[in-house]
Amino acid sequence: MRIAILAHDKFAPTDAKTAACLLRYRRDEVVAVVDRSKAGTDAGAVIPWATGVPVVASVKDAAALRPDALFIGIAPVGGALPADWRAELLDALRAGMDVVSGLHTFLNDDPALAEAARRVGRRIVDVRRPPVERRITTGEGALVDSLVVLTVGTDCSSGKMTATVELAREARRRGLDAAFVATGQTGIMVGCDEGAPVDAIVGDFMAGEVERMVLACAARGKSPIFVEGQGCITHPAYSGVTAALLHGAFPDLLVLCDEPARDTLRFPCARPFRTNPLPFEVRANEMLLEPTTGGKVAALALMTRGLSDAQAAQELRKAEAETGIPAADVYREGGVARILDGVLDMAAKRGLL
Protein backbone atom coordinates (compact mmCIF):
# COMPACT_ATOMS: atom_id res chain seq x y z
CA MET A 1 0.00 0.00 0.00
CA ARG A 2 1.08 3.61 -0.63
CA ILE A 3 0.12 5.80 2.33
CA ALA A 4 -0.15 9.57 2.81
CA ILE A 5 -0.56 10.82 6.38
CA LEU A 6 -2.62 13.94 7.18
CA ALA A 7 -1.27 15.92 10.15
CA HIS A 8 -1.76 19.65 9.42
CA ASP A 9 -0.02 21.88 11.98
CA LYS A 10 0.45 18.89 14.29
CA PHE A 11 3.25 16.78 12.81
CA ALA A 12 5.37 16.07 15.89
CA PRO A 13 6.29 12.88 17.79
CA THR A 14 3.67 13.44 20.53
CA ASP A 15 0.92 15.58 18.93
CA ALA A 16 0.64 13.27 15.94
CA LYS A 17 1.10 9.93 17.69
CA THR A 18 -0.69 8.02 14.95
CA ALA A 19 1.57 9.55 12.29
CA ALA A 20 4.67 8.76 14.33
CA CYS A 21 3.64 5.13 14.81
CA LEU A 22 2.71 4.62 11.16
CA LEU A 23 6.14 5.98 10.22
CA ARG A 24 7.76 3.62 12.72
CA TYR A 25 5.98 0.43 11.70
CA ARG A 26 4.89 1.03 8.08
CA ARG A 27 7.73 3.32 7.01
CA ASP A 28 8.18 1.56 3.66
CA GLU A 29 4.57 2.25 2.69
CA VAL A 30 4.46 5.96 3.57
CA VAL A 31 4.97 8.27 0.56
CA ALA A 32 4.17 11.64 2.17
CA VAL A 33 3.17 13.52 5.31
CA VAL A 34 0.70 16.38 4.75
CA ASP A 35 1.38 19.33 7.09
CA ARG A 36 1.05 22.87 5.70
CA SER A 37 3.14 24.29 8.59
CA LYS A 38 6.17 22.15 7.67
CA ALA A 39 5.75 21.81 3.90
CA GLY A 40 8.98 21.39 1.95
CA THR A 41 10.89 19.76 4.82
CA ASP A 42 11.85 16.12 5.34
CA ALA A 43 9.83 14.14 7.90
CA GLY A 44 13.13 12.97 9.34
CA ALA A 45 13.66 16.46 10.77
CA VAL A 46 10.70 15.82 13.12
CA ILE A 47 10.89 12.05 13.60
CA PRO A 48 14.34 10.49 13.18
CA TRP A 49 13.07 7.19 11.77
CA ALA A 50 11.07 9.01 9.03
CA THR A 51 14.04 10.28 7.03
CA GLY A 52 13.34 10.39 3.31
CA VAL A 53 9.59 10.97 3.58
CA PRO A 54 8.63 14.39 2.14
CA VAL A 55 6.31 16.76 4.02
CA VAL A 56 3.88 18.44 1.59
CA ALA A 57 1.43 21.33 1.96
CA SER A 58 -1.85 19.72 0.93
CA VAL A 59 -3.55 16.51 -0.06
CA LYS A 60 -3.51 17.81 -3.66
CA ASP A 61 0.30 18.00 -3.47
CA ALA A 62 0.45 14.50 -1.97
CA ALA A 63 -1.70 13.16 -4.83
CA ALA A 64 1.26 13.57 -7.20
CA LEU A 65 2.96 10.75 -5.23
CA ARG A 66 0.00 8.45 -6.03
CA PRO A 67 -1.01 7.25 -2.54
CA ASP A 68 -3.71 4.55 -2.29
CA ALA A 69 -4.91 5.86 1.05
CA LEU A 70 -4.89 8.95 3.26
CA PHE A 71 -4.47 8.07 6.95
CA ILE A 72 -5.51 10.67 9.51
CA GLY A 73 -2.37 11.02 11.57
CA ILE A 74 -3.76 12.42 14.81
CA ALA A 75 -5.89 11.12 17.68
CA PRO A 76 -7.04 14.27 19.49
CA VAL A 77 -8.72 14.28 22.91
CA GLY A 78 -12.40 13.68 22.24
CA GLY A 79 -11.53 12.40 18.80
CA ALA A 80 -13.26 14.96 16.57
CA LEU A 81 -12.12 16.01 13.09
CA PRO A 82 -10.59 19.50 12.93
CA ALA A 83 -13.18 21.46 10.91
CA ASP A 84 -10.77 22.70 8.24
CA TRP A 85 -9.53 19.16 7.47
CA ARG A 86 -12.80 18.16 5.85
CA ALA A 87 -11.99 19.75 2.49
CA GLU A 88 -8.73 17.79 2.46
CA LEU A 89 -10.63 14.52 2.89
CA LEU A 90 -12.88 15.40 -0.04
CA ASP A 91 -9.77 16.15 -2.11
CA ALA A 92 -8.31 12.76 -1.13
CA LEU A 93 -11.44 10.86 -2.18
CA ARG A 94 -11.67 12.81 -5.44
CA ALA A 95 -8.01 12.00 -6.14
CA GLY A 96 -8.84 8.29 -5.76
CA MET A 97 -7.55 7.61 -2.25
CA ASP A 98 -9.26 5.62 0.51
CA VAL A 99 -9.52 7.53 3.79
CA VAL A 100 -8.52 5.74 7.01
CA SER A 101 -9.52 7.39 10.28
CA GLY A 102 -9.13 6.59 13.97
CA LEU A 103 -11.30 9.50 15.14
CA HIS A 104 -14.24 9.04 17.53
CA THR A 105 -16.34 10.99 15.00
CA PHE A 106 -17.12 8.46 12.27
CA LEU A 107 -16.44 9.89 8.83
CA ASN A 108 -18.82 7.41 7.20
CA ASP A 109 -21.62 9.14 9.13
CA ASP A 110 -20.85 12.43 7.32
CA PRO A 111 -23.27 12.34 4.36
CA ALA A 112 -21.10 14.50 2.08
CA LEU A 113 -17.99 12.41 2.71
CA ALA A 114 -19.87 9.12 2.38
CA GLU A 115 -21.45 10.30 -0.87
CA ALA A 116 -18.10 11.46 -2.25
CA ALA A 117 -16.56 8.07 -1.44
CA ARG A 118 -19.44 6.24 -3.08
CA ARG A 119 -19.24 8.36 -6.21
CA VAL A 120 -15.53 7.62 -6.81
CA GLY A 121 -15.70 4.02 -5.58
CA ARG A 122 -13.28 4.52 -2.67
CA ARG A 123 -13.68 3.46 0.96
CA ILE A 124 -13.75 5.39 4.21
CA VAL A 125 -12.44 3.12 6.96
CA ASP A 126 -13.46 4.18 10.49
CA VAL A 127 -10.99 2.13 12.52
CA ARG A 128 -12.54 3.29 15.79
CA ARG A 129 -16.02 2.03 14.99
CA PRO A 130 -16.75 -0.51 17.74
CA PRO A 131 -17.56 -4.14 16.93
CA VAL A 132 -21.26 -4.84 16.39
CA GLU A 133 -21.19 -7.85 18.71
CA ARG A 134 -21.44 -6.79 22.38
CA ARG A 135 -19.94 -9.13 24.91
CA ILE A 136 -19.90 -9.20 28.70
CA THR A 137 -16.83 -10.70 30.40
CA THR A 138 -17.37 -14.39 31.18
CA GLY A 139 -14.23 -15.11 33.19
CA GLU A 140 -13.00 -17.61 30.56
CA GLY A 141 -9.99 -15.35 30.20
CA ALA A 142 -8.87 -16.47 33.64
CA LEU A 143 -8.61 -20.06 32.39
CA VAL A 144 -6.33 -19.38 29.41
CA ASP A 145 -3.05 -21.38 29.28
CA SER A 146 -1.12 -18.79 27.24
CA LEU A 147 1.05 -16.26 29.01
CA VAL A 148 -0.87 -12.96 28.86
CA VAL A 149 1.04 -9.70 29.34
CA LEU A 150 -0.68 -6.30 29.53
CA THR A 151 1.06 -2.94 29.32
CA VAL A 152 -0.13 -0.29 31.78
CA GLY A 153 1.04 3.28 32.22
CA THR A 154 1.53 6.18 34.60
CA ASP A 155 -0.33 8.40 32.09
CA CYS A 156 -1.82 8.27 28.62
CA SER A 157 0.77 8.55 25.82
CA SER A 158 3.42 6.90 27.95
CA GLY A 159 4.65 4.40 25.35
CA LYS A 160 2.27 1.48 25.91
CA MET A 161 1.50 0.81 22.25
CA THR A 162 5.12 0.88 21.15
CA ALA A 163 6.25 -1.26 24.08
CA THR A 164 3.56 -3.83 23.27
CA VAL A 165 4.39 -4.00 19.55
CA GLU A 166 8.13 -4.20 20.26
CA LEU A 167 7.68 -6.93 22.88
CA ALA A 168 5.69 -9.06 20.44
CA ARG A 169 8.32 -8.54 17.73
CA GLU A 170 11.19 -9.35 20.08
CA ALA A 171 9.39 -12.50 21.29
CA ARG A 172 8.93 -13.61 17.67
CA ARG A 173 12.62 -12.98 16.96
CA ARG A 174 13.29 -15.45 19.78
CA GLY A 175 11.09 -18.06 18.11
CA LEU A 176 8.03 -17.62 20.32
CA ASP A 177 4.59 -17.65 18.66
CA ALA A 178 3.67 -14.29 20.17
CA ALA A 179 0.54 -12.23 19.50
CA PHE A 180 -0.08 -8.48 19.58
CA VAL A 181 -3.59 -7.49 20.66
CA ALA A 182 -4.32 -3.86 19.72
CA THR A 183 -6.84 -1.92 21.80
CA GLY A 184 -6.58 1.50 20.16
CA GLN A 185 -6.88 2.95 16.69
CA THR A 186 -3.15 3.36 16.14
CA GLY A 187 -2.34 -0.21 17.13
CA ILE A 188 -4.98 -1.43 14.73
CA MET A 189 -3.55 0.75 11.94
CA VAL A 190 -0.01 -0.52 12.37
CA GLY A 191 -1.17 -4.16 12.22
CA CYS A 192 -2.17 -6.67 14.91
CA ASP A 193 -3.31 -10.26 15.55
CA GLU A 194 -6.58 -9.02 17.08
CA GLY A 195 -7.71 -5.43 17.42
CA ALA A 196 -10.63 -3.38 18.70
CA PRO A 197 -10.93 0.29 19.64
CA VAL A 198 -11.77 -0.37 23.30
CA ASP A 199 -12.20 3.29 24.27
CA ALA A 200 -14.95 3.54 21.63
CA ILE A 201 -16.91 0.62 23.09
CA VAL A 202 -19.86 1.10 25.45
CA GLY A 203 -18.71 0.84 29.09
CA ASP A 204 -20.33 -2.47 29.99
CA PHE A 205 -18.77 -4.27 27.03
CA MET A 206 -15.16 -3.07 27.02
CA ALA A 207 -13.75 -5.81 29.23
CA GLY A 208 -15.70 -8.52 27.40
CA GLU A 209 -14.24 -7.47 24.05
CA VAL A 210 -10.68 -7.56 25.37
CA GLU A 211 -11.34 -10.99 26.87
CA ARG A 212 -12.68 -12.15 23.49
CA MET A 213 -9.51 -11.03 21.69
CA VAL A 214 -7.26 -12.81 24.21
CA LEU A 215 -9.36 -15.98 23.90
CA ALA A 216 -9.14 -15.79 20.09
CA CYS A 217 -5.32 -15.56 20.20
CA ALA A 218 -5.11 -18.34 22.79
CA ALA A 219 -7.31 -20.57 20.63
CA ARG A 220 -4.74 -20.16 17.83
CA GLY A 221 -2.03 -21.36 20.23
CA LYS A 222 -0.39 -17.94 20.60
CA SER A 223 1.82 -17.34 23.64
CA PRO A 224 2.85 -14.90 24.96
CA ILE A 225 -0.11 -12.69 24.14
CA PHE A 226 0.87 -9.03 24.50
CA VAL A 227 -2.14 -6.78 25.08
CA GLU A 228 -1.83 -3.05 24.47
CA GLY A 229 -2.96 -1.01 27.48
CA GLN A 230 -4.77 2.33 27.46
CA GLY A 231 -4.68 5.33 29.77
CA CYS A 232 -3.72 4.99 33.41
CA ILE A 233 -5.58 3.48 36.36
CA THR A 234 -5.44 6.76 38.31
CA HIS A 235 -6.13 9.10 35.36
CA PRO A 236 -9.27 11.23 35.99
CA ALA A 237 -10.41 11.00 32.37
CA TYR A 238 -9.30 7.55 31.22
CA SER A 239 -9.22 5.17 34.20
CA GLY A 240 -12.46 3.51 33.12
CA VAL A 241 -10.92 2.13 29.96
CA THR A 242 -7.76 1.15 31.84
CA ALA A 243 -9.69 -0.80 34.50
CA ALA A 244 -11.68 -2.65 31.84
CA LEU A 245 -8.43 -3.80 30.20
CA LEU A 246 -6.83 -4.68 33.52
CA HIS A 247 -9.68 -7.04 34.32
CA GLY A 248 -10.89 -8.11 30.87
CA ALA A 249 -7.46 -9.23 29.63
CA PHE A 250 -6.84 -11.34 32.79
CA PRO A 251 -3.11 -10.61 32.47
CA ASP A 252 -0.61 -12.87 34.20
CA LEU A 253 1.96 -10.10 34.13
CA LEU A 254 2.13 -6.35 33.57
CA VAL A 255 4.69 -4.04 32.01
CA LEU A 256 4.42 -0.54 33.45
CA CYS A 257 5.23 2.31 31.03
CA ASP A 258 6.41 5.70 32.24
CA GLU A 259 8.09 8.88 31.07
CA PRO A 260 10.33 9.94 33.99
CA ALA A 261 10.52 13.57 32.83
CA ARG A 262 6.75 14.06 32.99
CA ASP A 263 5.35 15.51 36.20
CA THR A 264 1.73 16.28 35.24
CA LEU A 265 -0.82 14.15 33.45
CA ARG A 266 -1.21 14.94 29.77
CA PHE A 267 -4.80 16.04 29.13
CA PRO A 268 -6.58 19.38 28.81
CA CYS A 269 -7.86 20.12 32.30
CA ALA A 270 -9.01 22.83 34.66
CA ARG A 271 -6.18 22.14 37.10
CA PRO A 272 -3.01 20.09 36.73
CA PHE A 273 -2.92 16.54 38.09
CA ARG A 274 0.47 15.21 39.10
CA THR A 275 1.79 11.91 37.84
CA ASN A 276 2.27 9.40 40.63
CA PRO A 277 5.51 7.81 41.79
CA LEU A 278 6.24 4.45 40.15
CA PRO A 279 5.78 2.42 43.36
CA PHE A 280 2.29 3.89 43.79
CA GLU A 281 1.24 2.93 40.26
CA VAL A 282 2.75 -0.56 40.69
CA ARG A 283 0.70 -1.06 43.88
CA ALA A 284 -2.53 0.37 42.42
CA ASN A 285 -2.43 -1.87 39.33
CA GLU A 286 -1.41 -4.97 41.28
CA MET A 287 -4.06 -4.36 43.93
CA LEU A 288 -6.87 -4.35 41.36
CA LEU A 289 -5.53 -7.59 39.84
CA GLU A 290 -5.09 -9.37 43.17
CA PRO A 291 -8.62 -10.87 43.17
CA THR A 292 -8.49 -12.10 39.55
CA THR A 293 -5.05 -13.28 38.36
CA GLY A 294 -2.73 -11.94 41.05
CA GLY A 295 -0.68 -10.52 38.17
CA LYS A 296 2.44 -8.50 39.02
CA VAL A 297 4.51 -5.86 37.25
CA ALA A 298 7.39 -7.80 35.67
CA ALA A 299 9.23 -4.90 34.03
CA LEU A 300 9.22 -1.13 33.59
CA ALA A 301 9.33 0.45 30.12
CA LEU A 302 10.68 3.97 30.51
CA MET A 303 10.65 6.64 27.79
CA THR A 304 13.91 8.51 28.26
CA ARG A 305 13.74 10.59 25.09
CA GLY A 306 15.52 13.91 25.33
CA LEU A 307 17.94 12.54 27.93
CA SER A 308 21.63 11.78 27.36
CA ASP A 309 22.73 8.14 27.59
CA ALA A 310 24.15 8.82 31.05
CA GLN A 311 20.98 10.56 32.25
CA ALA A 312 18.84 7.78 30.83
CA ALA A 313 20.94 5.14 32.57
CA GLN A 314 20.54 7.06 35.81
CA GLU A 315 16.74 7.23 35.45
CA LEU A 316 16.60 3.50 34.78
CA ARG A 317 18.71 2.73 37.86
CA LYS A 318 16.55 5.06 39.96
CA ALA A 319 13.35 3.37 38.81
CA GLU A 320 14.80 -0.06 39.55
CA ALA A 321 15.94 1.03 42.99
CA GLU A 322 12.51 2.48 43.84
CA THR A 323 10.55 -0.56 42.71
CA GLY A 324 12.89 -3.56 42.65
CA ILE A 325 11.67 -4.19 39.09
CA PRO A 326 13.94 -4.30 35.99
CA ALA A 327 13.65 -1.18 33.81
CA ALA A 328 14.67 -0.35 30.23
CA ASP A 329 13.75 1.95 27.35
CA VAL A 330 12.31 0.19 24.28
CA TYR A 331 13.44 3.15 22.16
CA ARG A 332 17.10 2.49 23.06
CA GLU A 333 19.38 -0.33 21.86
CA GLY A 334 18.79 -3.56 23.78
CA GLY A 335 15.89 -2.05 25.73
CA VAL A 336 13.11 -4.29 24.56
CA ALA A 337 15.29 -7.41 25.00
CA ARG A 338 15.87 -6.47 28.64
CA ILE A 339 12.13 -5.90 29.22
CA LEU A 340 11.24 -9.22 27.62
CA ASP A 341 13.91 -10.89 29.79
CA GLY A 342 12.17 -9.41 32.82
CA VAL A 343 8.80 -10.71 31.64
CA LEU A 344 10.07 -14.22 30.86
CA ASP A 345 12.08 -14.41 34.09
CA MET A 346 9.04 -13.63 36.21
CA ALA A 347 6.87 -15.92 34.11
CA ALA A 348 9.34 -18.77 34.74
CA LYS A 349 9.54 -18.04 38.47
CA ARG A 350 5.75 -18.03 38.75
CA GLY A 351 5.39 -21.24 36.74
CA LEU A 352 3.57 -19.49 33.90
CA LEU A 353 5.66 -20.93 31.06
Task: List contacts with a second copy (CB under 8 A).
Answer: 77-79, 104, 130, 134, 136-143, 198-204, 206-208, 233-244, 246-248, 250, 267-271, 273-274, 276, 280, 283-284, 287-288, 290-292
Pair 263, 160: CB distance under 8 Å:
no
- Smallest separation (angstroms) from a second copy to the CB of 283: 7
C-beta closer to a second copy: residue 164 or 285: 285
Q: Minimum distance between the CB of residue 271 and a second copy, rounded to whole angstroms?
A: 5
CB of 183 to a second copy, least distance (A): 10
Q: Decide: 190 and 165 in contact? Cβ < 8 Å.
A: yes
187 with 161: CB under 8 angstroms? yes
Question: Minimal distance in Å, beta carbon 245 to a second copy?
Answer: 8
- Sheet of 55-56, strand order: 55-56, 30-34, 3-6, 69-72, 98-101, 124-126
Q: Residue 179 or residue 232: which is nearer to a second copy going by CB? A: 232
CB nearer a second copy, residue 85 or residue 267: 267
Nearer to a second copy, 49 or 267 (CB): 267
CB of 83 to a second copy, least distance (A): 17
* Shortest Cβ 323–a second copy spacing (Å): 16
Distances (CA, A) of 200 to 117, 159, 209: 24, 20, 11
Q: Which of 66, 68, 125 is nearest to 100 (CA)?
A: 125
| DSSP code at position 230 | -
Using the minimum distance from each CB to a second copy, give the nearer residue, 112 or 143: 143
Q: Tell me the C-alpha distance between 34 and 85, whole Å.
A: 11
Angle, CA 200 vertex, CA 197 and CA 202 arms, to 5°: 120
Separation of alpha carbons 212 and 225, rounded Å: 13
Query: Is the Cβ of residue 40 or residue 274 nearer to a second copy in the bound state?
Result: 274
| CA pair distance 134, 206, nearest whole angstrom | 9
